């Protein structure tokens, strides 16, 4: 399998990445540590490419990517944009909250009565939040409701 060496313009900088496999296959993104680059995956990429769409970028300042000065770029992992990835599936969890209410139907027996989970996430295609609530009627059967909220949209899905 051929590994392609490519560049993408991201936030005004040239970012180098290695890519192999069919874009129709499930994607695998190989992120390097520091100090390193995508070169560390040169043997792994072809081994995965027959089953996956493999992408291995070089962070700014590493490998073949642009090297901005420290006065113009904050060298932290949270400052790295991945806009060039074909990755609407990439998710960053912004917040998660979970709570559970217990009840005691019998002496020394505690069972869940309500479970509420809320989360806000950011994907490559935008932000959304969701809420899932579970209410146990008789401790054997649960009523589950799920709602997805998309900012800027009046629709609840």
Contacts 24+ apart (CB under 8 A), 133-137: 136/111, 136/112
Confidence of residue 156 (pLDDT cuts 50, 70, 90): very low
Region 89-103: mean pLDDT is 73
pLDDT tens-digit profile of 3-37? 999 998 877 889 899 999 998 887 788 888 767 88
Res. 81: pLDDT tops 50: yes
Prediction pTM value? 0.54
Q: Is 45 exposed, middle or buried (0-12, 13-18, 19+ CB in 10 A)?
A: buried
Region 105-110: mean pLDDT is 81
4-86 under CATH 3.40.50.1820, yes or no: yes
């Amino acid at each position: 399998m051929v590994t392609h060496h490519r560049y993408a313009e991201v936030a005004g900088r040239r970012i180098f990445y290695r890519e192999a496999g069919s874009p129709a296959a499930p994607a695998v993104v190989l992120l390097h540590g520091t100090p390193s680059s995508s070169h560390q995956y040169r043997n792994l990429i072809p081994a995965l490419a027959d089953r996956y769409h493999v992408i291995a970028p070089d962070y700014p300042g590493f490998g073949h990517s642009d090297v901005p000065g420290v006065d113009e770029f904050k060298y932290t992992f949270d400052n790295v944009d991945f806009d060039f990835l074909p990755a609407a599936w990439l998710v960053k969890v912004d917040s998660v909250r979970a709570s559970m209410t217990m009840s005691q139907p019998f002496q020394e027996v505690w069972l869940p009565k309500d479970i509420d989970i809320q989360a806000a996430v950011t994907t490559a295609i935008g932000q959304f939040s969701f809420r899932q609530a579970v209410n146990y009627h008789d401790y054997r059967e649960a009523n589950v409701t799920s709602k997805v909220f998309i900012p800027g949209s009046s629709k609840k899905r």
